[in-house]
Structure 1
Amino acid sequence: MILVLWDIDRTLVYTGDIDRLVYRETFTSVVGRPPTALPARGTGVTMPLAVRELLRVNQVPERSVATLADRIVAELPDRLAGHRELLATEGVIMPGAVDALTAVHQAERLIPTVVTGNLRGSAETKLSELGLIGYLDTTIGGYASDDSHRPALVRIAQDRAATKHGAQFDRDNTMIVGDSLEDVRTGLEGGARVIGVASGTTTEEQLRAAGADHVLPDLGSTRTLLRLIGQVRAS
């Protein structure tokens, strides 16, 4: 069996400014004033780390950052859930994502789940509203709500998959599919091979230079994707 760890944002879906709207609303609710700056786009950084940076760039005193960050993180999933209709109408499924998810989901020896910088509640809301959650076993995924250090999420997902499927998972049979430099770093440091997909803000050249095992321009070829995933044990 091969564990396939999908990234979500800009790999499977694009939710435009909805995440930024949620950051803005939650910051305002917790801090008591609107932010003047928001997290950078498309970095793949986990939400807890993005929230801490959000507080710092908006001149929140360092002594208050940890407490306020915890409050914001706790509120983010419910805030996003309050915009379900907006996600359903303005969220976009990335080109090729449905066919790619379908192919991996139907392949007998592949186990599809997620490793994401999203909190679990936020991840499941996005996937659900855009009709993708049925292609993934989200119960064995790794989320920013498990650990803010993204590479640690690989081991978390591997352990959950091992418990459920009675098999061991490591770098030899785990593949990340993602668009960002953080996805590559997550695999290199966390113990998984990486298929970089240049569907986000990171180019094919940047993904290769960062150490991705394979790089695709997009998810347009399910045959190529399945072939590369199948090379995990052979390589």
Structure 2
Amino acid sequence: MPDVKCNRLLLFDIDCTLLNTGGAGMAAFHSAAEELYSDQISKKGVLKLDMAGSTDSGLIMEIFNSLDIEDSSFERKKFFDLYLSKLSTNLSNSKFNGRLLPGVLNTLKKFTEPNDNYEVFIGLLTGNIEEGARIKIEHYGIEKYFMFGAFGCDHFDRNKLGPIALERARQNHGLQFDSQETFVIGDTPKDINCAKAFGARSLAVATGSFSYDQLMGYDPDYLLDDLSDWEKVSNFLLTD
């Protein structure tokens, strides 16, 4: 009787985990807000947003709340249409100097190769709205690795995205995934807490604005400087 492989579901954050846009995304978000709501911003003062690990839906709620703008589907569409246009433009502008982060491409390639013990499935769990996520991963040439995901347009609370990702994985692959065979890979405390919220495990990478020591304080299951050491990455994610 042949051995039965175990499933492993790997859910990747995008910004500062897979890639760094060099500020193109943040600039697009702020520029869209400033273009649409310049009068309100001039009255209220500088618009300050906590971008790291936040969802786009949460950020737009924060903008609307701080500027006393009524939150509506029309207003959201107007903002995100402009944001997506600016994002595409910024990514093509060499001044932002974006890049894939160390080890990312090799890691994705390795996880798509046959494995004796695990059937590996890869998806996204990101605060980006889906269109923004697709624009980013397509620009950096890794879109073929991500057929499904949970996004910032699915819920404003990142901690609610895990079950959505599990359901999307089931729909995409026809398999029921357990949270204990699932990993969230990300660069912020919000990624770590998101994994805990639905019983998954976490691999934190110190490739964003939080240092290795800072991330350690949030008790991730595993922690690396980046994804460049394939042996460590595979040992962490492909062992029980």
Does the pair score TM above 0.5? yes
What code does the residue aligned with 2:141 have? Answer: G
Mapping of 1:223-234 within 5 angstroms? Answer: 223-231=231-239, 234=240
What code does the residue aligned with 1:133 have? Answer: E
1:89/1:28 Cα in 2 relative to 1: closer, same or farther (>3 Å)? closer
Q: Does 1:79 align with 2:69?
A: no
What code does the residue aligned with 2:135 have? Answer: T
Residue by residue over 1:68-96, the C-alpha shift from the partner in whole angstroms, topping out at 9 and shown as x without a partner, is: 45642454333323434127972111111
TM-score relative to the length of structure 2: 0.84
Q: Which runs of 4+ in 1 moved over 3 A?
A: 32-35, 54-57, 67-71
Q: What is the distance in 1 between the residues matched to 2:95 and 2:10?
A: 25
Report deviation, 1:192: 1.5
Pick from 141, 144, 159 the counterpart of residue 134 of structure 1: 144
Structure 1 stretches of 5 or more lacking a match? none
> For residue 23 of structure 2, what is the aligned residue in structure 1?
17
Q: What is the distance in 2 between the residues matched to 1:184 and 1:163?
A: 25
> For residue 60 of structure 2, what is the aligned residue in structure 1?
51
Task: Classify the secondary structure of the residue corresponding to 1:39.
Answer: coil
Mapping of 1:175-190 within 5 angstroms? Answer: 175-190=183-198
What code does the residue aligned with 1:152 have? Answer: K
> For residue 221 of structure 2, what is the aligned residue in structure 1?
213
Structure label with greater radius of gyration: 2
> For residue 4 of structure 2, what is the aligned residue in structure 1?
none
Q: Which has the higher helix share?
A: 1
Q: Note if contact 1:171-1:192 (Cα within 8 Å) is conserved in structure 2.
A: yes
**Identical aligned pairs, as a percentage?**
24
> For residue 13 of structure 2, what is the aligned residue in structure 1?
7
Task: Classify the secondary structure of the residue corresponding to 1:224.
Answer: helix
Q: Note if contact 1:24-1:34 (Cα within 8 Å) is conserved in structure 2.
A: no
Q: Note if contact 2:23-2:96 (Cα within 8 Å) is conserved in structure 1.
A: no
Pick from 162, 168, 185 the counterpart of residue 160 of structure 1: 168
Pick from 202, 222, 227 the counterpart of residue 194 of structure 1: 202
Residue by residue over 1:86-126, the C-alpha shift from the partner in whole angstroms, topping out at 9 and shown as x without a partner, is: 27972111111111121123245111111001011111111
Report deviation, 1:166: 2.3
Q: What is the distance in 2 between the residues matched to 1:179 and 1:125?
A: 20
